[in-house]
Amino acid sequence: MDIYVQLLINSLQISAVYVLFSLGLTLIFGVMRIVNFAHGEFFALAALLLAVAVPWLVGIGAPLPVAFALAFLGALGAVLVLGKLLYEFAFRRFQRDMIGSFVLSVGLALLLQGVFIEMFTGAARKLPTLIEGTVRILGGAITVQRLILCLIALLVAVAMCWAIVSTRLGKALRAVAEDHEAAMLQGVPYRRIARIGFLIGTLLAAVAGALLAPVVVISPVIGSSYLIKGFIAVVIGGLGSIPGAIIGSILIAVIESVGGYYFDPSLATIAMFVIVMLVLLIRPTGLMGNG
Amino acid sequence: MASRSRALLAAAGACAVAGSFFSGSDFVSSLIIWVALNVLMTASFRFVLLMGELNFAMAGFVGIGAYAAGIATTLYDLPLALALLLGAAAAGLISLVVGFITLRAKGPYFMLISFAFTEVLRLIYTRIDLIGGNSGMVGIFPPAYLARYYPTLVVLLVLLFLFILYRVERSDFGKILVAIRNNDQLVQTVGINVHLTKVWCLGVASFVAGVCGALLAHGNNVISPGDFSFLLAVYTLAYLKVGGEAHILGAVAGAIVLTLLAQYALGFGAYEHIFYGAAIVISVILLPQGLFGLGQRLALARRRPDSRD
Amino acid sequence: MATEVLLSVEGMSRHFGGLAAVSDLSFEVRRGEILGLIGPNGAGKSTTFNVISGFYKPTTGRLKFAGEDIGGRSPQQISRKGLVRTFQHGSLLREMTVYDNIRVATVSLFRTGSERDQRVVETAQMLHLSEHLQELAGNLPHGLQRMVSIAIAFARRARLLCLDEPLTGLNQSEVAHALATFRRIRDEFGCTILLVEHNMKAVMEICDRIVVLEHGEFLAEGKPAEIAQNEAVISAYLGKRK
């Protein structure tokens, strides 16, 4: 019984990052009808900045919690600035052009990854632990840091779902996602909503990266591997669907933790792929996608 | 196409064949093979773009062609022609299955899954010891009597398949592909099964990609899973964007120019990422028609003083 | 005039989530007639078209074309049976020449290139598009683009042509030309035409019969003169003007 609880806990913890990552992807697709291949690089940048900033801040005398807080905010800020720049100078002109924007984002991702490899010199990094300790829940164990990661991710996901349903911004985002021309006719400021949606999506990727940095060894090429799994998750769930992104992410997290335990990570990835093909066979637009 | 352009192209093709015949050093031979295969891979990628899809699974199909041909040659001692055929057929057939499942829905599903497909194939190769696992497969050689003329064989086959892709593009099938990209609902209303047509398009392109893989395997003599990562497809995208999508010659131009440029301007490592990434971004933003489009505009400008309007 | 029924819609409904776009609609299209389908905005005309042409499955009800059940069939299958539709917006291939636009419509009809070519040339002649064959469809003026849309559908020599607001954006002389074309298509080639249109004057002029929808339901049916005097129809239209 214990092993199942542990696997469940591992799944939830892995899914935390995937959920945030996929929510960003699906939100951007929803409002702009584009897939941003560079999404993984926003994620990577936040993680890398955190991984670099914390030791540096500690080195100049900041206490560890302060260093983490400052680095966290700094990483988010930097990614947002990058996102805004890329939106204004690149993506804005290509919205609703799925092919053109994807091609552009592939080029940007490649370019950014090359820059990261240069800037962060390819060496993997491990951060000092902020909060020590392990917690036991129902027979399974999880480190305190990972638990906090889960809780924050859960909080953010719930907040997003609530905001999408209840707030005016959320309703505007949904209107634009459903039918952007109708939304425009009803007076929704389409361009502003698209930009906000893009930035929120990018912010989610950044938060995911910044939360991941303390618990995993970060390398400059981490964006690509998360991106591929993120793609699988949003396709399973249905592009543009928020509940779909959550379901898809949890599913791949379960496969990764169970598959990784009983077999090995590469077999788990192969299994994920088989699953997504099966889903597409039965429902070509994903579990919760609209046909 | 105007007869003068046709003559020029034929001459260029003949030069390519002749050049490959007399290539002296191993380095030049390898380069010719590498450039020629990049040209054909770019043309294959472009063929799928005709119907409006980005085929990032291409690298996966090149890999299937390479491994299938490699197995045929090293494990079963089959003649080269048969190995090439098996490589291409394997890639083509598997693409029909993948395409059938992923091309059904409108939207970026094929695009996204094709990335995952390439990655998963790579993982599968690393797990199969029979084909060398992570270290790859060695000893894939063309027959001894062909070894010296291998670059010529590659160039000839590349020219052949370029011609085939060009003819198919100009046929009614090709027009339907472009129509699907323009307005797939309309194409459904004129009695055409859009889904199956798209699957066949992918099949044709993947068959050609399989040929590239098989030729690559015998050219490099060694193949490993890392050779067929999605970076291969992304570089192909760069070639196409730089060269121009509107005409198959754009694929040729882009592949030649960028491959040679990359060869002489950089080593490996991070700069390669930056180079290709920048090439794509700059082309998309500043030169969307690519070099071919630029050439067309210059030709038009030069002709204008004598034109009647 | 023959009273053979070519298309029969029986009790057809189409729901989207909780919303009924069309409820319990029944009407028939008789061979050789030009039938108009009209109604205020939101009446369900486009939805009806989409169901008839296979782009939506009907939630309930039956559709019979030339005696065969077509409810739930794909657009491609329905097209091959002889029912072709145009779209209200962009019913053509902008980046291709007029010739290629029409050619694509002939591919599933003939096996050889010369037969396809012949059909394209004949169709273009019929619709006075012959001088424009090598032009890009997207570059043509609006009226000619509409003609290309009709040419694409007509190239199939369909038994039933379903035209979705073909007169939108046309000036008076273009409308007259289009109406004359519809008449010729019906008279010389025996095509039956089902027409969704907002241009009331044109509808009254060209249609043999008219079916009126309101709020997704059947409202009235009859000859143009009868419909023009129908109280319910008049109030449906007047009521919509706010």
Q: CA A96, CA A33: separation in Å to the nearest integer?
A: 5
- Rounded to the nearest integer, the mean pLDDT of chain A is 88
Q: Are residues C137 and C177 in the same domain?
A: no
The residues near C60 (Cβ < 8 Å, ≥ 6 apart) are C11, C12, C13, C24
pLDDT for C239: 61
Q: Are residues C197 and C237 in the same domain?
A: yes
- Asked if B123 is an interface residue toward chain A (Cβ–Cβ < 8 A), one would say yes
Which chain A residues are Cβ-neighbours of B272 within 8 angstroms?
Answer: 114
Nearest residue to A117 (alpha-carbon basis) of A229, A222, A225: A222
Nearest residue to C207 (alpha-carbon basis) of C193, C187, C189: C193
Which chain A residues are Cβ-neighbours of B101 within 8 angstroms?
Answer: 277, 280-281
List the chains bordering chain B where 3 or more Cβ pairs fall under 8 Å.
A, C
Partner residue facing A281 (CB), from B52, B101, B271: B101
Q: Are residues C178 and C62 in the same domain?
A: yes
Task: Look up residue C189 and give its two tokens.
Answer: 């080639």
Task: Look up residue A110 and give its two tokens.
Answer: 């490649």
CB contact under 8 A, C76 and B176: no
- Beta-bridged to residue C15, according to DSSP, are C20
Picking from B103, B182, B280 by the largest number of A CB atoms within 10 A of its own CB, the best residue to mutate is B280
For the segment B84-93, what is each residue's pLDDT rounded down to a tens digit?
Answer: 999 999 999 9
Partner residue facing B271 (CB), from A108, A114, A281: A114
CB contact under 8 A, A280 and B104: yes
Burial B100-136 (b: 16+ CB within 10 A, else e): bbbbbbebbbbbbbbbbbbbbbbbbbbeeeebbeeeb
Yes or no: say if A23 and A154 are a contact pair by the CB < 8 Å rule.
Answer: no
**Nearest chain A CA: its distance from B304 CA (Å):** 31
Please state, as a whole number, how many other Cβ atoms lie within 10 Å of the Cβ of residue C5: 14
Q: CA B191, CA B176: separation in Å to the nearest integer?
A: 11
Q: Are residues C32 and C74 in the same domain?
A: yes
B touches A, CB cut-off 8 Å, minimum 3 pairs: yes
Q: Are residues C102 and C169 in the same domain?
A: no
- Asked if C105 is an interface residue toward chain B (Cβ–Cβ < 8 A), one would say yes
Torsion over CA: B173, B174, B175, B181 (sign): positive
For the segment B108-128, what is each residue's pLDDT rounded down to a tens digit?
Answer: 899 999 989 999 999 999 888
In this predicted structure, the answer to whether residue A181 has a pLDDT above a threshold of 80 is no
Q: CA C74, CA C54: separation in Å to the nearest integer?
A: 5
Q: Summarize the confidence of residues B89-104 as an average pLDDT.
A: 96
Which chain C residues are Cβ-neighbours of B106 within 8 angstroms?
Answer: none
- Asked if C152 is an interface residue toward chain B (Cβ–Cβ < 8 A), one would say yes
pLDDT for B225: 93
pLDDT for B268: 55
**Nearest chain C CA: its distance from B276 CA (Å):** 29
Q: CA A147, CA A143: separation in Å to the nearest integer?
A: 6
Residues of chain C with pLDDT under 50: 1, 240-242
pLDDT for C76: 95
- Our measurement of the distance from residue C87's CA atom to the centroid of its chain's CA atoms, rounded to an integer in Å, reads 8
Q: CA B88, CA B80: separation in Å to the nearest integer?
A: 12
In this predicted structure, the answer to whether residue A259 has a pLDDT above a threshold of 60 is yes
Task: Look up residue A69 and give its two tokens.
Answer: 């807080």
Nearest residue to B141 (alpha-carbon basis) of B150, B133, B132: B150
Q: Domain of C8: which CATH number?
A: 3.40.50.300
Q: Are residues C227 and C168 in the same domain?
A: yes
- Asked if C87 is an interface residue toward chain B (Cβ–Cβ < 8 A), one would say yes
Q: Are residues C119 and C73 in the same domain?
A: no
**Nearest chain A CA: its distance from B101 CA (Å):** 5
pLDDT for B2: 67
What is the longest distance spanned by two Cα atoms in chain C? 56
Q: Summarize the confidence of residues A88-104 as an average pLDDT.
A: 87
| A117, closest residue in chain B (CA to CA) | B270
Q: Are residues C72 and C115 in the same domain?
A: no
Torsion over CA: B226, B231, B236, B242 (sign): negative
CB contact under 8 A, A235 and B109: yes
Task: Look up residue A191 and give its two tokens.
Answer: 């361009």
- Asked if C35 is an interface residue toward chain B (Cβ–Cβ < 8 A), one would say no
CB contact under 8 A, B190 and C93: no
| B231, closest residue in chain A (CA to CA) | A110
Please state, as a whole number, how many other Cβ atoms lie within 10 Å of the Cβ of residue C68: 10
Burial of A167 (0-12, 13-18, 19+ CB in 10 A): exposed
In this predicted structure, the answer to whether residue B264 has a pLDDT above a threshold of 80 is no
- Asked if B191 is an interface residue toward chain A (Cβ–Cβ < 8 A), one would say no
- Asked if B134 is an interface residue toward chain C (Cβ–Cβ < 8 A), one would say no
Domain ranges of chain B: 3-229
Which chain C residues are Cβ-neighbours of B52 within 8 angstroms?
Answer: none
pLDDT for C231: 84
pLDDT for A142: 80
Q: Summarize the confidence of residues A80-102 as an average pLDDT.
A: 89
* Residue that is last in its domain, among C157, C187, C204: C157
Q: Are residues C170 and C234 in the same domain?
A: yes
pLDDT for C242: 38
In this predicted structure, the answer to whether residue B57 has a pLDDT above a threshold of 90 is yes
Q: Is C164 helix (H, G, I), strand (E, B) or coil?
A: strand
The residues near C172 (Cβ < 8 Å, ≥ 6 apart) are none
pLDDT for B196: 96
Q: CA A256, CA A266: separation in Å to the nearest integer?
A: 9
pLDDT for B130: 80
Residues of A with CB under 8 A from a CB of B: 29, 35, 90, 98-100, 102-104, 106-115, 117-118, 122, 227-228, 231-232, 234-235, 239, 266-267, 269-270, 272-273, 276-277, 280-281, 284-286, 289, 291
Whole-prediction pTM: 0.90
For the segment B271-299, what is each residue's pLDDT rounded down to a tens digit?
Answer: 888 889 999 999 998 888 888 888 888 88
In this predicted structure, the answer to whether residue B149 has a pLDDT above a threshold of 90 is no
pLDDT for A199: 94
CB contact under 8 A, A35 and B237: no
CB contact under 8 A, B178 and C75: no
CB contact under 8 A, B183 and C95: no
> Which segments within C73-171 are labelled E, that is strand?
83-85, 160-164
CB contact under 8 A, C104 and B179: yes
Model confidence at B23, in pLDDT bands (50, 70, 90)? low
List the chains bordering chain A where 3 or more Cβ pairs fall under 8 Å.
B
In this predicted structure, the answer to whether residue B83 has a pLDDT above a threshold of 90 is yes
pLDDT for A122: 59
Count of structural domains, chain C: 2
Phi and psi, residue C185, nearest 5°: -60, -40
pLDDT for B171: 96
Q: Which structural domain, as residue segments, surrounds residue C102?
A: 89-157
Picking from A95, A108, A229, A235 by the largest number of B CB atoms within 10 A of its own CB, the best residue to mutate is A235
In this predicted structure, the answer to whether residue B250 has a pLDDT above a threshold of 70 is yes
**What is the DSSP annotation of A208-227?**
HHHHHTTTS-B-TTHHHHHH
CB contact under 8 A, A239 and B54: no
CB contact under 8 A, C87 and B185: yes
**Nearest chain A CA: its distance from B104 CA (Å):** 6
* DSSP-derived pairing of the beta strands C209-214 and C160-164: unpaired
Q: Is A63 helix (H, G, I), strand (E, B) or coil?
A: coil
CB pairs under 8 A between B and C: 70
pLDDT for A182: 78
pLDDT for B3: 74
Torsion over CA: A182, A188, A192, A194 (sign): negative
Q: CA B179, CA C88: separation in Å to the nearest integer?
A: 18
Model confidence at A290, in pLDDT bands (50, 70, 90)? low
In this predicted structure, the answer to whether residue A36 has a pLDDT above a threshold of 60 is yes
Residue A64, sorted as left (phi over 0), alpha (psi -120 to 50) or beta, turns out to be alpha
Q: Are residues C123 and C143 in the same domain?
A: yes
Task: Look up residue C52 and give its two tokens.
Answer: 């008839």
Q: Is C16 helix (H, G, I), strand (E, B) or coil?
A: strand
Nearest residue to B212 (alpha-carbon basis) of B84, B56, B94, B308: B84
Q: Summarize the confidence of residues A182-208 as an average pLDDT.
A: 88
Q: CA B204, CA B210: separation in Å to the nearest integer?
A: 10
For the segment C3-33, what is each residue's pLDDT rounded down to a tens digit?
Answer: 789 999 999 999 887 788 899 999 999 999 9
**Nearest chain C CA: its distance from B176 CA (Å):** 6
H-run or E-run covering C14 = strand C5-16
Partner residue facing B172 (CB), from C84, C94, C103: C103
- Amino acid sitting at position B12: A
CB contact under 8 A, B52 and A99: yes
pLDDT for A124: 65
The residues near B187 (Cβ < 8 Å, ≥ 6 apart) are B176, B179, B180, B194, B197, C104
Mean pLDDT: which of A74-78, A120-124, A172-176, B141-145 is highest?
A74-78
Model confidence at B309, in pLDDT bands (50, 70, 90)? very low
Q: Are residues C169 and C231 in the same domain?
A: yes
pLDDT for C241: 45
CB contact under 8 A, A269 and B126: no
Q: Summarize the confidence of residues A99-121 as an average pLDDT.
A: 90
Partner residue facing B188 (CB), from C75, C94, C107: C75
Which chain B residues are Cβ-neighbours of C153 within 8 angstroms?
Answer: 189
Nearest residue to C133 (alpha-carbon basis) of C98, C100, C94, C101: C98
CB contact under 8 A, A239 and B107: yes
Partner residue facing A35 (CB), from B108, B126, B273: B108
CB contact under 8 A, B182 and C53: no
Place of tokens 């773009």: B49
Task: Look up residue A198 and give its two tokens.
Answer: 């893009």
Partner residue facing C104 (CB), from B185, B190, B193: B190
* DSSP-derived pairing of the beta strands C19-30 and C5-16: antiparallel
- Amino acid sitting at position A183: A
CB contact under 8 A, B116 and A276: yes
Which chain A residues are Cβ-neighbours of B105 within 8 angstroms?
Answer: 280, 284-285, 289, 291
* Residue that is last in its domain, among C157, C181, C208: C157
Place of tokens 């938060």: A207
CB contact under 8 A, B109 and A239: yes
Q: Is A106 helix (H, G, I), strand (E, B) or coil?
A: helix
- Rounded to the nearest integer, the mean pLDDT of chain B is 89
Picking from A280, A285, A287, A288 by the largest number of B CB atoms within 10 A of its own CB, the best residue to mutate is A280
